[in-house]
Structure 1
Amino acid sequence: MTATRRTWLWVAAALAAIVAAAAVGTYLTSPRPGGRMDPHATGPDGAHALVTLLRDRGVDVVVAGSVADVERQARPDTLVLVAETMRITDEELLERLAKVPGDRLLIAPNPRARDALAPAIQAGPMRAFTAEPDCRMRAAERAGTVDLRSTATYVGKQGEAVRSCYAGALVRFHRGDQTVTVVGSESFMTNADLAREGNAALALNLAGARDRLIWYAPQHVEGGKHAAAKISDLIPNGVRWLFWQLCVALTLAAVWKGRRIGPLVAERLPVVVRASETVEGLGRLYRSRRARDRAALALRTATLHRLAPRLGMGPAPDPGALIATVTGRIGGNPDLLWHTLFGPAPDSDDALVSLARTLDDIERQVTTS
C-alpha cells in the first residue's frame, strides 16, 4: 500500500469520525417534541427538566401512559402525580384513579377530576401572582416565594380539614391513609418556568415527597367516548328532516342561479398572501404596540363565534346565557368562566398566552362534551 493511499484512508476515517460525532451530538442536543407536562419533552411546556432533577435525587420516576399503567405500578408507598386531566373523558377512568393506592398530587385538575379525586375541596377565584407561602406546610416553607402565574385557588368544603398555602393555590388534606395535594397551576413545573423564583424547590419538594413517583399526564384523549362520534350523531333527530329540506333548497337555488352565470374566467391576483403570514404580521404589530387588549379581544371574539353555534345559540348571545350554557355543559366556576371570556385585558404577555390556552381548553371541552 502506497503512502498516498494510506494518507487518504486516514483522512476518510477522520471525516467519518467527525460526521458520526456530529450526528450523535445533534441527536442528543436536539429538542424533544411533546405536549404540556410531557416528561420526555424538552420544549417550554414540557417537564423533562423536573423529571431529570427528580431522578438525580434518587426518585424512581415511572411514566404512565394510561390509567391501566397507573393501576399496575401504584403501591401504598408511591406518589401518583395526575396532570392534564381535561384529556380524561371517561368518568369510570377517574373512579379507577381514585381507587389506586398511594398519595396524590393533582396538578390543575378540571372540575370532574377535582370532584372524583379531591372531593374535600371546591374551586375559588382565579389569581395571577407571585406570593409567599403563608402557611406551615414544609414543602412550601422551604420553597418560599414562587411564581405561579395565572392559577386556580381552592377552599375546603364545610367540615373538611384542609391546609392552604399561597392564598389557596396549594392545598392539602388527608383522605383515609392517603395525603392529597392539589396545585392550581402547572406552569411552575414546566421547563420554561422551573427556574423562576422558588418554583424548582416547590416542584421538587412536592413531586419528590416519596421515593417512587408515578407520572401520569396523558398527551392524548383517554376514554374514547367522543372519538367515535359521527357528524350525523351531532344532529338532533327532530331537525334532520329540516336539514335535508335545506339541502334540497340549496341545490335547487344553485341550479337556478347556475343557469344565469356564464363560464368561469381565470383571473390572476396581483399578490398572493398566505394566511399564516397575515396572522403573524398582525401578531407582531400587536406586540410592537403592546396592544394586549386588542389581541385578547380578538381571541375572545373568535372563541365566542365558534362556541355559539356549538351551543345552539345565535351569533350574538347574551353573555349571562352563554356562561350558564357553558357551565351546564362542562361544569366549572361561572365567575372563572366570565373572567376568561369577558374579563379585563391581560397585564402581561405571559398572561395573554395563558388566556389563549384557557380559551382553547374551554373550546376543546365544549367540543368534546
Structure 2
Amino acid sequence: MTEAQAPESRPVSPTARSMWRGSRLFVLLGLLMVALATAVVLLGPEDGNERYLDPADTSLQGSKALAELLRARGVQVDRVDSVEAARALGGDRLLFVTDTVYVDEHELAELPGDRLLVDRWSLSELAPQVREVPEPVRERSRAPECSLPAATAAGSAYIGGVAFRIPPGGSGCYPSRLGWALVSYPHGTGTTTVVGSATFMTNMRLPEDGNAALAINLLDTGKPVTWLVRPENPPPGDLAGSGGRSFYDLLPPNIGWSLVMACVAVALVAFWRGRRLGPVVVERLPVVVRAAETVEGRGRLYRARKARARSADALRAGAIDRLTPRLGLGPGAHGQEVVAAIAARTGEDPQRVGAALYGPPPEDDEGMVALAGYVDQIERKVSEL
C-alpha cells in the first residue's frame, strides 16, 4: 500500500522582500518629503546672496530694477531695515513692508501714511481688517477685473499666492475662486493695500505682462517710499524680534486642516497597504496515514448516502482509464471499442463486459459488490495477458 505524502511546512517569519513590500510606500513618501524640503531650502527666494524684494539686490529675487524705475520717475526710495530708521525719515510717506520678522509690528503700525504690504504675517497689526482665505492660490497671469486705477491701468499681472476677502469699504482685484489676490481699503491715516504675492515685483518677473506697470502704480503715489527689508545682519535671539510672535503665529491659518487631512490620508494608506493574512500554514503530520483509508472513508460516505450510481460511475471511470492504455486505445476511445477489445483480450462475453462498464447502476449493495468484483476480475485478466 502507498502512504499519503505529508505536506511540507512553510515559514511564517517576515522576509526582507515581504518587509519591503509592506513599507515601500512609506519609504517613497518619506523620500519625497525630504526631496521637497531640500528643494525649498536650496531654491527658496532668500537662498545664498539673493535678498528677496531688496531694492539694492540685482539678483533674480531682488527688486533693484523696480527701485531704479521709480527713481527715474522722480520717486524718492529709501531703503530701511528697522522701525527706528523708518520713523526717522518722518513726513507723509508710503510704507512698503516686505518683511517683518525682525521688527516690532506694534511700533510699525504707529507710523502714519499709506501702506503696501506683501508680508502676510503682518496682517494682524498692519491690516487687521483683512482676512486671509484658507486656500492657497496658484500664481499665474491674471486679469484685474476691478475698478482700482493702479490695477486697471496695468492690466494682467503675474500674481496669486494668497487670496483675501475684501474688507469693509475696500476693493479687490485679481480674483480667484474664493478671494482676491490684491485688496485695498482706507484706514485712519491713509490707504492700506495688501498683495498676496510680490513675485511680480522681482527682477525676474518685472518685464512680464503688466507686472512693471502694476508695481509702479502701487508705489508711485506721489509720496516718498519707505522700503522696509530684512536686515543683512539680523540680531540674535527670537526671530519675531520684540514683537514676540510664537512659532504658532508663523504657521498658516489652514495648517490645522492640512494636518487633519494628512492624518486621514496616512490612515487610509495604512488600511489599504497594511499587511494581510497570508496563506494557511500546513504542518507536518505526526502520524502516517495509509492511502487505503481515504478510499474506505469515501466508500462509507457513499454507502451512508446510498449513492450507488455515483459509486458505480467512479468505479467504472477509474477502470476504463486504467484499461484503455493497456488495450492500446486512445483516451477518446468509444465504449464499443473498449468492450470489443476487452472481450477479444480476455474471452469474456461482450454483453456482460458492456453491462459491467456501461450499464445501469446496481439496485442494491449486493449488486454493487458483484459489480466491483467483476470489474476487478476484468482488470486482472487484461494485466496478466
| Residues 162, 33 of structure 1: alpha-carbon distance in 2 compared, 3 angstrom cutoff | same
Q: Give the distance between the partners of 1:205 and 1:228, measured in 2 at CA.
A: 31
* Per-residue CA distance 1:103-125 (angstroms, 9 max, x = gap): 10101322xx1100000111013
The correspondence of residues 49-198 of structure 1 with structure 2, limited to 5 A, is 49-76=65-92, 78-85=93-100, 87-88=101-102, 93-110=104-121, 113-124=122-133, 125-128=135-138, 129-148=140-159, 150-156=160-166, 160-167=168-175, 168-198=180-210
Quote the residue 1:334 is aligned against: 254
* Per-residue CA distance 1:277-322 (angstroms, 9 max, x = gap): xxxxxxxxxxxxxxxxxxxxxxxxxxxxxxxxxxxxxxxxxxxxxx
> Is 1:44 aligned to residue 52 of structure 2?
no
Q: Give the distance between the partners of 1:337 and 1:55, measured in 2 at CA.
A: 45
Identity in percent:
30
Match of 2:165, SS? strand
Q: TM-score, normalised by structure 1?
A: 0.51
* Per-residue CA distance 1:316-358 (angstroms, 9 max, x = gap): xxxxxxxxxx98453432169839x96xxxxxxxxxxxxxxxx
Q: Give the distance between the partners of 1:337 and 1:151, measured in 2 at CA.
A: 18
* Per-residue CA distance 1:162-181 (angstroms, 9 max, x = gap): 21100111100111131000
Amino acid at match of 1:99: E
Q: Give the distance between the partners of 2:255 and 2:78, measured in 1 at CA.
A: 37
More helix by share: 1
Quote the residue 1:200 is aligned against: 212
The structure number with the bigger radius of gyration is: 2
Is the 8 Å Cα contact of residues 82 and 231 (structure 2) preserved in structure 1?
A: no
Quote the residue 2:29 is aligned against: none
Q: Give the distance between the partners of 1:67 and 1:194, measured in 2 at CA.
A: 28
State the Cα distance separating 1:227 from its structure 2 match: 6.7
Q: Give the distance between the partners of 2:249 and 2:112, measured in 1 at CA.
A: 31
State the Cα distance separating 1:161 from its structure 2 match: 1.9
Quote the residue 2:347 is aligned against: none
Is the 8 Å Cα contact of residues 174 and 182 (structure 2) preserved in structure 1?
A: yes
Is the 8 Å Cα contact of residues 35 and 45 (structure 1) preserved in structure 2?
A: yes
The correspondence of residues 318-329 of structure 1 with structure 2, limited to 5 A, is 328=248
Runs of 4+, deviation exceeding 3 Å: 219-225, 326-329
Match of 1:130, SS? strand
- What is the root-mean-square deviation of aligned Cα atoms in Å? 2.9
Q: Give the distance between the partners of 1:44 and 1:84, measured in 2 at CA.
A: 18
State the Cα distance separating 1:84 from its structure 2 match: 2.2
Match of 1:59, SS? coil
State the Cα distance separating 1:220 from its structure 2 match: 4.6
Q: Alignment length, in residue pairs? A: 204
Q: TM-score, normalised by structure 2?
A: 0.49
State the Cα distance separating 1:207 from its structure 2 match: 1.1
Structure 1 unmatched runs, 5+ = 1-31, 230-325, 343-369
State the Cα distance separating 1:219 from its structure 2 match: 3.9
| Residues 183, 227 of structure 1: alpha-carbon distance in 2 compared, 3 angstrom cutoff | closer
State the Cα distance separating 1:222 from its structure 2 match: 5.3
> Is 1:212 aligned to residue 221 of structure 2?
no
Q: Give the distance between the partners of 1:337 and 1:206, measured in 2 at CA.
A: 34
* Per-residue CA distance 1:211-253 (angstroms, 9 max, x = gap): 3111111145756542799xxxxxxxxxxxxxxxxxxxxxxxx
Match of 1:105, SS? strand
State the Cα distance separating 1:34 from its structure 2 match: 4.0
Amino acid at match of 1:65: D
Q: Give the distance between the partners of 1:201 and 1:227, measured in 2 at CA.
A: 34
Amino acid at match of 2:147: R
| Residues 221, 178 of structure 1: alpha-carbon distance in 2 compared, 3 angstrom cutoff | farther
Quote the residue 2:12 is aligned against: none
Match of 2:120, SS? coil
Q: Give the distance between the partners of 1:336 and 1:69, measured in 2 at CA.
A: 37
